[in-house]
Amino acid sequence: MCSKLAVFLTSFVLVFGLVCANAAFAAEIDIRIADGGDDAEQHLGDGSMDIGSSDLELPYEDAGNPTTDEQVIGLRFVGIPVNKGGPVTGAYVEIEVDKVDKEGSANPVNLIIEGELVPNAAAFADDANNITGRASRTTAKVKWSVPPWTAENEKFQSPDISSIIQEIVDQNDWVSGNALVLIISDDKENPSTGLREAEAYEGEAGAAPLLHLVGTLSIIELASEPNPADGAAGVSSLPNLGTYLSSDVPKNIPDFRAVSTSNVLGEATSTLSVADSIKITDLNVELDITMPGNNADLNVYLKSPDGKEVELFTDVGLHGADDFKNTILDDEASTSIRDGTDKFTGIYKPEGKLSDFDGRNASGNWRLKIQDDWYGGPGTLNSWRLVIESPALLKWTPPGEAASQDVYFADNFEDVNNSAASALLGNLPADAASVGFGPLTLGQTYYLRVDTVTPTAEQGAAISGALRPRRASRCRAEGPCQQR
């Protein structure tokens, strides 16, 4: 026997509600470095990387006479809430003083800020020249003469860098939620003779470098803490972007062969498991295939856990061309996979529509099927991954002693409060801690609730609340929303 238990109400409100593509408004947001791998130093002398440093020296490790060990700094900010081309009207980087006792803290420091011109900047790696090796840079560059540092914990903001951010988000394959990298180096037209020692994430997480943005942004904030408090309910600040890598690799792709009077396709299949229960709003595929024969021999298909199959491509490329190297398939790409040649490195539009997966639940086992339909030799599937965007993510702390959890979500309070079947978003495992929801309509109030379902009549726990996307509101954790 199962029991669905009491509802505890709490209010939380969405402001500047994105979730649907056209619901973004003028706003401001601070995005701080949130991972130790996202602020890094590269020593220019030998190209070595320092990703775990507790501080960031700009632009020299040591500022003696003369200055020595020149460095370039990389800052990676994730979850940028700007749609493609979304106007960015203001931006700056803020850093905090770590120490002022190093020689050179009062000497002139003149810097150049530029951006890596890619749609979604990769994390820093402990490989030589990992920052300077990012050759694609923004045309926009901003000079920054940093004043002398005399007091620890003081904060300094760069000049406006909105031109850099705008150039990055104007790229064809940019989407809200992507990451960007800013690169800070010495201004060779006005060389530095000093240094500034700033906080890094590893030194003081709350004082790590910060990116301030002003423009047409898409932000979700919470109005109050959940009740019960141990429910720890929250809503992600952006549509969720998850990357899922198959562990079912490498896979041999057998060559096409003739057997007696019939032909036999070479075929390989690989699976990829997605544990998260999320509704797909956009899906991209990345492939790495070694094909020493001909790319044009291959037919590749993707099947979702619920059985929907989409053709990624069949018989593309020139005979004699080999390999698909970090090939990204994206419905929004400007170049069709049929127009690709050689190694197919880059972003291409698939032959089928990945949008056929939109609206489906991503949870479960996905299957990639590869067929070889002509002679030329076997190939190898080295790796493949899915990048899945889902609506905003509702997160909570699962209560104990539950068999499963029922999640209700609707714009009708009575339906949610009374556990109406029409409001049931789904039944999730006992250890589930998140679910995607949306899209939402601006100004409409929505209600949600997460019930534990226990195998006996013992008392369990539940959380619930109300959501309302609102324009230009700011909500306090301890009280109601105040209209600006």
Which DSSP category does 213 fall into? Answer: E
Least-confidence region, from 77-86, 253-262, 354-363 = 253-262
CA distance 355 to 92: 36
Contact between 309 and 353 (Cβ < 8 Å): no
If you ran DSSP here, which 8-state letter would residue 304 be given?
-
How far apart CA 329 and CA 347 sit, in angstroms, is: 6
pLDDT tens per residue, range 40-62: 999 999 999 999 899 999 999 88
Per the prediction, the chain carries an average pLDDT of 79
Whole-number pLDDT of residue 389? 80
Q: Give me the mean pLDDT over the 225-251 stretch.
A: 66
In whole angstroms, what is the distance from residue 9 CA to residue 227 CA? 6
**How far, in Å, CA of 432 to CA of 272, rounded?**
19
CA–CA separation, 82 vs 165, rounded Å? 10
CB atoms within 10 A of CB 68: 11
- Say how far residue 411 (Cα) sits from the centre of its chain: 29
Give the CB-side neighbour count of residue 188, counting CA atoms within 13 A.
3
Side chain identity at residue 57, one-letter code? E
Instruction: Show the domains of the chain with their CATH numbers.
Output: 3-18+221-238+392-483 (2.60.40.10), 25-217 (2.60.120), 241-390 (2.60.120.260)
The gap from C-alpha 265 to its chain's centroid, in whole angstroms, comes to 38
Q: pLDDT of 397-448, one tens digit each?
A: 776 666 788 888 777 878 887 888 998 888 888 887 777 666 665 455 667 7
pLDDT at 254: 86
Q: Which pair of tokens denotes residue 126?
A: 């402990």
* Side chain identity at residue 174, one-letter code: W
**Among the listed residues 110, 102, 109, 130, the one whose alpha carbon sits nearest the alpha carbon of residue 37:** 130
| Token reading at 476 | 């306090």
Tokens of 441: 């309509």
CB 59 within 8 A of CB 184: yes
pLDDT value at residue 86: 78
Measured CA to CA, the distance from residue 270 to residue 206 in angstroms comes to 42
74: which 2 tokens?
A: 């990389």
Pairing mode, if any, of strands 55-58 and 155-157? Answer: unpaired
Q: Which pair of structure tokens corresponds to residue 7?
A: 């509802």
The C-alpha atoms of residue 434 and residue 25 are separated, in whole angstroms, by 26
Average pLDDT over residues 239-246: 75
pLDDT digits over 157-178, tens only?
999 999 999 999 999 889 877 8
Specify the residue for token string 């190694």: 343
Across 143-147, average pLDDT: 96
Each residue's pLDDT tens digit, 305-356: 999 999 999 888 765 556 788 788 999 888 888 887 666 777 889 999 999 9
Record the pTM.
Answer: 0.50
Closest C-alpha among 217, 386, 191, 215 to residue 287: 386
| Residues 210, 214, 220, 224, Cα dihedral to 10° | 70
Determine how many CB atoms are found less than 10 A away from the CB of residue 24: 23
Please count the other Cβ atoms lying within 10 Å of the Cβ belonging to residue 368.
Answer: 23
For residue 120, the SS3 value is coil
